[in-house]
A and B are shown apart, each in its own frame.
Chain A
Amino acid sequence: MGIEGIGARVARKEDKRFVTGLGRYVDDMVVPGMKYAVFVRSPHAHAAIRSIDTSAAKTMPGVIGVLTGPELKSDGIGNLICGWMIHSKDGSPMKMGAWSPLATDKVRYVGDAVAIVVAESRSLARDAAEAVAVEYDELPAVTDAVKALEAGAPQIHPEAANNLIYDWELGDAAATDQAIAGAAHVTRMRIVNNRLIPNAIEPRAALGHYNPAEDHFTLWTTSQNPHVARLVMSAFYNVAPENKLRVIAPDVGGGFGSKIYIYPEEVVCLWASKRTGVPVKWVADRTESFLCDAHGRDHVTEVAMAFDTDNRVVGLKVDTIANFGAYMSLFSSCVPTYLYATLLSGQYAFPHIHCNVRAVYTNTAPVDAYRGAGRPEATYVLERVMETAARELGMSPAELRRRNFIREFPHQTPVIMNYDGGDYEASLNAAMQAADYAGFPARREEAKRRGKLRGIGMSCYIEACGLAPSQAVGSLGAGVGLWESAEVRVNAAGTIEVLTGSHSHGQGHETTFAQVVADRLGLPLDQVSIVHGDTDKVQMGMGTYGSRSGAVGISAIVKALDKVETKAKKIAAHLLEADEGDIVIENGEVKVAGTDRSLPWFQVALAAYTAHNLPAGMEPGLKETAFYDPTNFTFPAGCYICEVEIDPETGVTEIVQFVAADDFGTIINPLIVEGQVHGGITQGVGQALLEGCVYDPTSGQLVTASYMDYTMPRAADVPSFKVSTTSTPSPSNPLGIKGCGEAGAIGSPPAVINAITDAIGNNDLTMPATPQRVWAALRKAQ
Chain B
Amino acid sequence: MYQTTYHRPSSVAEAVRMLGEAADGKFLGGGQTLIPTMKQRLAAPSDVIDLRHIAELKGITVSGRDVRIGAGTTHEEVANHSGLAAVCPAICYLAGHIGDPHVRHMGTIGGSISNNDPAADYPSAMLALNAMIHTSKRALSADEFFTGLFGTALDEDEIVTAVSFTAPEKAGYAKFPNPASRYALTGVFVAKRPEGVRVAVTGAGEDGVFRATAIENALSRSFEPSVLDGIAMPADGLMSDIHASAEYRANLIVVMAKRAVQAANG
B32 to chain A, nearest CB (A): 13
Question: Quick check: is B63 within 8 A (CB to CB) of the other chain?
Answer: no
A667 to B181, CA, bound (A): 39
A650 to B178, CA, bound (A): 12
> Can you name the residue of chain A whose Cβ is closest to the Cβ of B247?
A776
Question: Quick check: is B176 within 8 A (CB to CB) of the other chain?
Answer: yes
Question: Quick check: is B248 within 8 A (CB to CB) of the other chain?
Answer: yes
B251:A709 contact, CB within 8 angstroms: no
Q: Which A residues are in CB contact (< 8 Å) with B242?
A: 692, 694, 703-704, 709
B255:A711 contact, CB within 8 angstroms: no
A707 touching B180 in the complex, CB below 8 Å, given contacts A772-B244, A772-B245, A772-B248: yes
A707 touching B181 in the complex, CB below 8 Å, given contacts A123-B1, A694-B242, A772-B245: yes
B179:A690 contact, CB within 8 angstroms: yes
B180:A710 contact, CB within 8 angstroms: yes
A342 to chain B, nearest CB (A): 34
Most chain B CB inside 10 Å of its own CB: which residue of A123, A709, A710: A709
Instruction: Name the one of B40, B41, B183, B243 contacting A772, with C-beta atoms under 8 angstroms.
Output: B243
Question: Quick check: is B252 within 8 A (CB to CB) of the other chain?
Answer: yes
B180:A650 contact, CB within 8 angstroms: no
A447-487 contacts to B, CB under 8 A, are none
A279 to B266, CA, bound (A): 64
A60 to chain B, nearest CB (A): 13
B1:A709 contact, CB within 8 angstroms: no
Most chain A CB inside 10 Å of its own CB: which residue of B181, B183, B245: B181
Question: Quick check: is A771 within 8 A (CB to CB) of the other chain?
Answer: yes
A650 touching B181 in the complex, CB below 8 Å, given contacts A123-B1, A704-B242, A772-B243: no
> Can you name the residue of chain A whose Cβ is closest to the Cβ of B183?
A708
Question: Quick check: is A215 within 8 A (CB to CB) of the other chain?
Answer: no
Give per-residue flags for A702-729: 1 if the beta carbon is below 8 A from chain B beta carbons, else 0.
Answer: 0110011111100000000000000000
Question: Quick check: is A649 within 8 A (CB to CB) of the other chain?
Answer: yes
A776 to B242, CA, bound (A): 14
Q: Which B residues are in CB contact (< 8 Å) with A370?
A: none
A649 touching B180 in the complex, CB below 8 Å, given contacts A704-B242, A772-B243: no
B35-67 contacts to A, CB under 8 A, are 40-41
Q: Which A residues are in CB contact (< 8 Å) with B251?
A: 649-650, 775
> Can you name the residue of chain A whose Cβ is closest to the Cβ of B245?
A772
Question: Quick check: is A770 within 8 A (CB to CB) of the other chain?
Answer: yes
> Can you name the residue of chain A whose Cβ is closest to the Cβ of B251?
A775
A650:B176 contact, CB within 8 angstroms: yes
B180:A708 contact, CB within 8 angstroms: yes
A650 touching B255 in the complex, CB below 8 Å, given contacts A707-B181, A710-B180, A771-B179: yes
Q: How many A-B residue pairs have CB under 8 A?
A: 45
Q: Which A residues are in CB contact (< 8 Å) with B183?
A: 708
Q: Which B residues are in CB contact (< 8 Å) with A708?
A: 180-181, 183
Instruction: Name the one of A126, A130, A770 contacting B179, with C-beta atoms under 8 angstroms.
Output: A770
Give per-residue flags for B146-178: 1 if the beta carbon is below 8 A from chain A beta carbons, else 0.
Answer: 000000000000000000000000000000100
B93-148 contacts to A, CB under 8 A, are none
A449 to B41, CA, bound (A): 52
B118 to chain A, nearest CB (A): 13
Q: Which A residues are in CB contact (< 8 Å) with B41?
A: 126, 130
Q: Which B residues are in CB contact (< 8 Å) with A650?
A: 176, 251-252, 255
A775 touching B179 in the complex, CB below 8 Å, given contacts A123-B1, A704-B242: no
A709 touching B245 in the complex, CB below 8 Å, given contacts A649-B255, A650-B252, A650-B255: no
B47 to chain A, nearest CB (A): 18
A711:B248 contact, CB within 8 angstroms: no
A775 to B2, CA, bound (A): 44
A258 to chain B, nearest CB (A): 20
A710 to B179, CA, bound (A): 9
* Interface size range on B against A: 10 to 19
A126 to B44, CA, bound (A): 14
Q: Which B residues are in CB contact (< 8 Å) with A130?
A: 41
Q: Which B residues are in CB contact (< 8 Å) with A704?
A: 180, 242
Q: Which B residues are in CB contact (< 8 Å) with A772?
A: 243-245, 248
Q: Which B residues are in CB contact (< 8 Å) with A711?
A: 179-180
> Can you name the residue of chain A whose Cβ is closest to the Cβ of B256?
A650
A130 to B40, CA, bound (A): 13
A651 to B245, CA, bound (A): 13
Most chain A CB inside 10 Å of its own CB: which residue of B40, B41, B248: B248
A620 to B176, CA, bound (A): 71
> Can you name the residue of chain A whose Cβ is closest to the Cβ of B179?
A711
A770 to B178, CA, bound (A): 10
Instruction: Name the one of A709, A771, A776 contacting B181, with C-beta atoms under 8 angstroms.
Output: A709
> Can you name the residue of chain A whose Cβ is closest to the Cβ of B248?
A772
Q: Which A residues are in CB contact (< 8 Å) with B181?
A: 707-709
Q: Which A residues are in CB contact (< 8 Å) with B40?
A: 287
A707 to B179, CA, bound (A): 10
A645 to B181, CA, bound (A): 23
A650 to chain B, nearest CB (A): 6
A644-660 contacts to B, CB under 8 A, are 649-651
Give per-residue flags for A624-651: 1 if the beta carbon is below 8 A from chain B beta carbons, else 0.
Answer: 0000000000000000000000000111
> Can you name the residue of chain B whose Cβ is closest to the Cβ of A123?
B1
A776 touching B180 in the complex, CB below 8 Å, given contacts A650-B255, A703-B242: no
B248:A709 contact, CB within 8 angstroms: no
> Can you name the residue of chain A whose Cβ is closest to the Cβ of B39?
A285
Q: Which A residues are in CB contact (< 8 Å) with B2?
A: 127
Give per-residue flags for B227-266: 1 if the beta carbon is below 8 A from chain A beta carbons, else 0.
Answer: 0000000000000001111001001100100000000000
Most chain B CB inside 10 Å of its own CB: which residue of A287, A703, A711: A711
> Can you name the residue of chain A whose Cβ is closest to the Cβ of B259?
A649
A225 to B245, CA, bound (A): 43
A750 to chain B, nearest CB (A): 21
Q: Which A residues are in CB contact (< 8 Å) with B248?
A: 651, 771-772, 775-776
A776 to B240, CA, bound (A): 14
Instruction: Name the one of B176, B180, B252, B255 contacting A709, with C-beta atoms under 8 angstroms.
Output: B180
A12 to B22, CA, bound (A): 55
Q: Which A residues are in CB contact (< 8 Å) with B1?
A: 123
Q: Which B residues are in CB contact (< 8 Å) with A771?
A: 176, 179, 248
Give per-residue flags for A675-713: 1 if the beta carbon is below 8 A from chain B beta carbons, else 0.
Answer: 000000000000000101010000000011001111110
> Can you name the residue of chain B whose Cβ is closest to the Cβ of A649?
B255
> Can you name the residue of chain B whose Cβ is closest to the Cβ of A696?
B242
A709 to B176, CA, bound (A): 15
A37 to B53, CA, bound (A): 37
B99 to chain A, nearest CB (A): 12
A704 to B242, CA, bound (A): 9
> Can you name the residue of chain B whose Cβ is closest to the Cβ of A287?
B40
A300 to chain B, nearest CB (A): 19
A466 to B46, CA, bound (A): 57
B145 to chain A, nearest CB (A): 26
A690 to B244, CA, bound (A): 13
A772 to B252, CA, bound (A): 10
A722 to chain B, nearest CB (A): 25
A703 to B180, CA, bound (A): 13
A770 touching B243 in the complex, CB below 8 Å, given contacts A123-B1, A707-B181: yes
A60-91 contacts to B, CB under 8 A, are none
A773 to B242, CA, bound (A): 11
A690 to chain B, nearest CB (A): 6
B173-202 contacts to A, CB under 8 A, are 176, 179-181, 183
A772 to B245, CA, bound (A): 8
Other contacts beyond A703-B242, A770-B243: 15, CB < 8 A = A130-B41, A649-B251, A649-B255, A650-B251, A650-B252, A708-B180, A709-B180, A711-B179, A711-B180, A770-B179, A771-B248, A772-B243, A772-B244, A772-B245, A775-B251
B: which residues have CB within 8 A of A? Answer: 1-2, 40-41, 176, 179-181, 183, 242-245, 248, 251-252, 255
> Can you sample 10 A-B contacts with CB below 8 Å?
A130-B41, A692-B242, A703-B242, A704-B242, A708-B180, A709-B181, A709-B243, A711-B180, A772-B248, A775-B248
Ordered nearest first, which 8 A-B pairs have the shortest CB separation?
Answer: A711-B180, A708-B181, A711-B179, A649-B255, A772-B248, A772-B244, A709-B180, A694-B242
